[in-house]
Amino acid sequence: MTEHGPVAIWGAIVAIGVATFAIRLSFIYLFGQINAVPPRVRLALRFVPPAVLAALVAPALVTLGPTIQATLLDERLLAGLAAGAVAWRTENVFATIGVGMAALWTFRFLVF
Protein backbone atom coordinates (compact mmCIF):
# COMPACT_ATOMS: atom_id res chain seq x y z
CA MET A 1 0.00 0.00 0.00
CA THR A 2 1.36 3.41 -0.89
CA GLU A 3 1.61 6.23 1.59
CA HIS A 4 -0.22 9.42 0.59
CA GLY A 5 0.98 12.71 1.93
CA PRO A 6 -1.19 15.42 3.47
CA VAL A 7 -1.28 17.37 0.20
CA ALA A 8 -2.86 14.43 -1.65
CA ILE A 9 -5.40 13.87 1.11
CA TRP A 10 -6.39 17.55 1.23
CA GLY A 11 -6.53 17.63 -2.57
CA ALA A 12 -8.98 14.72 -2.55
CA ILE A 13 -11.11 16.40 0.13
CA VAL A 14 -11.24 19.66 -1.84
CA ALA A 15 -12.00 17.85 -5.13
CA ILE A 16 -14.85 15.89 -3.57
CA GLY A 17 -16.22 19.06 -1.95
CA VAL A 18 -16.12 20.98 -5.24
CA ALA A 19 -17.80 18.08 -7.08
CA THR A 20 -20.57 17.88 -4.46
CA PHE A 21 -21.11 21.64 -4.59
CA ALA A 22 -21.23 21.58 -8.41
CA ILE A 23 -23.83 18.81 -8.46
CA ARG A 24 -26.09 20.63 -6.00
CA LEU A 25 -25.59 24.00 -7.71
CA SER A 26 -26.51 22.49 -11.07
CA PHE A 27 -29.98 21.54 -9.80
CA ILE A 28 -30.50 24.94 -8.20
CA TYR A 29 -29.40 26.66 -11.41
CA LEU A 30 -31.50 24.33 -13.58
CA PHE A 31 -34.70 24.91 -11.63
CA GLY A 32 -33.95 28.64 -11.55
CA GLN A 33 -34.01 28.67 -15.37
CA ILE A 34 -37.29 26.81 -15.70
CA ASN A 35 -40.34 29.04 -15.34
CA ALA A 36 -42.72 26.24 -14.41
CA VAL A 37 -42.23 22.62 -13.53
CA PRO A 38 -43.83 20.42 -16.21
CA PRO A 39 -46.97 18.58 -15.08
CA ARG A 40 -45.42 15.14 -15.61
CA VAL A 41 -42.43 16.04 -13.42
CA ARG A 42 -44.75 17.49 -10.76
CA LEU A 43 -46.78 14.26 -10.82
CA ALA A 44 -43.64 12.16 -10.39
CA LEU A 45 -42.31 14.36 -7.58
CA ARG A 46 -45.50 13.74 -5.56
CA PHE A 47 -44.33 10.19 -4.90
CA VAL A 48 -40.84 11.05 -3.66
CA PRO A 49 -41.66 11.66 0.06
CA PRO A 50 -43.67 8.43 0.54
CA ALA A 51 -41.02 6.43 -1.31
CA VAL A 52 -38.20 7.85 0.82
CA LEU A 53 -40.17 7.27 4.03
CA ALA A 54 -40.92 3.68 3.02
CA ALA A 55 -37.26 3.08 2.17
CA LEU A 56 -36.23 4.36 5.59
CA VAL A 57 -38.89 2.60 7.67
CA ALA A 58 -39.37 -0.78 5.97
CA PRO A 59 -35.92 -2.25 6.71
CA ALA A 60 -36.28 -1.34 10.38
CA LEU A 61 -39.68 -3.03 10.63
CA VAL A 62 -39.16 -6.19 8.64
CA THR A 63 -36.38 -8.51 9.73
CA LEU A 64 -36.23 -12.11 8.70
CA GLY A 65 -36.24 -14.49 11.62
CA PRO A 66 -35.22 -18.13 11.61
CA THR A 67 -38.88 -19.14 11.25
CA ILE A 68 -41.99 -17.58 9.78
CA GLN A 69 -43.47 -17.35 13.27
CA ALA A 70 -40.44 -15.43 14.55
CA THR A 71 -40.66 -13.06 11.60
CA LEU A 72 -44.38 -12.38 12.03
CA LEU A 73 -44.17 -12.01 15.81
CA ASP A 74 -41.29 -9.53 15.79
CA GLU A 75 -42.16 -6.67 18.15
CA ARG A 76 -41.05 -3.98 15.68
CA LEU A 77 -43.32 -5.34 12.96
CA LEU A 78 -46.30 -5.56 15.32
CA ALA A 79 -45.69 -2.03 16.65
CA GLY A 80 -45.32 -0.76 13.09
CA LEU A 81 -48.63 -2.34 12.12
CA ALA A 82 -50.33 -0.74 15.12
CA ALA A 83 -48.82 2.65 14.27
CA GLY A 84 -49.84 2.21 10.64
CA ALA A 85 -53.43 1.49 11.63
CA VAL A 86 -53.53 4.60 13.82
CA ALA A 87 -51.99 6.71 11.05
CA TRP A 88 -54.55 5.42 8.56
CA ARG A 89 -57.53 6.04 10.84
CA THR A 90 -56.57 9.34 12.49
CA GLU A 91 -53.98 10.94 10.13
CA ASN A 92 -52.44 12.40 13.29
CA VAL A 93 -48.64 12.27 13.49
CA PHE A 94 -48.42 12.58 17.27
CA ALA A 95 -51.01 9.85 17.84
CA THR A 96 -49.15 7.60 15.41
CA ILE A 97 -45.83 8.13 17.18
CA GLY A 98 -47.39 7.68 20.61
CA VAL A 99 -49.24 4.48 19.79
CA GLY A 100 -46.25 3.08 17.91
CA MET A 101 -43.85 3.70 20.78
CA ALA A 102 -46.33 2.45 23.39
CA ALA A 103 -46.92 -0.71 21.37
CA LEU A 104 -43.19 -1.27 20.88
CA TRP A 105 -42.44 -0.87 24.58
CA THR A 106 -45.41 -3.08 25.51
CA PHE A 107 -44.36 -5.84 23.13
CA ARG A 108 -40.67 -5.57 24.02
CA PHE A 109 -40.88 -5.39 27.80
CA LEU A 110 -44.18 -7.01 28.77
CA VAL A 111 -45.18 -9.54 26.13
CA PHE A 112 -42.03 -10.99 24.57
Task: State residue 107 phi and psi, 5-degree precision.
Answer: -65, -40
Count, residues in the chain: 112
Mean pLDDT of the chain: 88
pLDDT of residue 100: 95
Of 50, 109, 110, 108, give the one whose Cα is nearest residue 79.
Answer: 108
| pLDDT average, residue stretch 80-86 | 94
Q: CA-to-CA distance for 29 and 33, rounded, in angstroms?
A: 6
Instruction: Specify the pTM.
Output: 0.58
- Over residues 19-29, the pLDDT tens digits come to 999 999 988 88
Percent of the chain past pLDDT 90, that is, above it, reads 52
What residue ranges do the domains of the chain occupy?
6-35, 48-111
Task: Report H helices in 2-108.
Answer: 6-33, 39-45, 48-61, 68-72, 75-90, 93-105
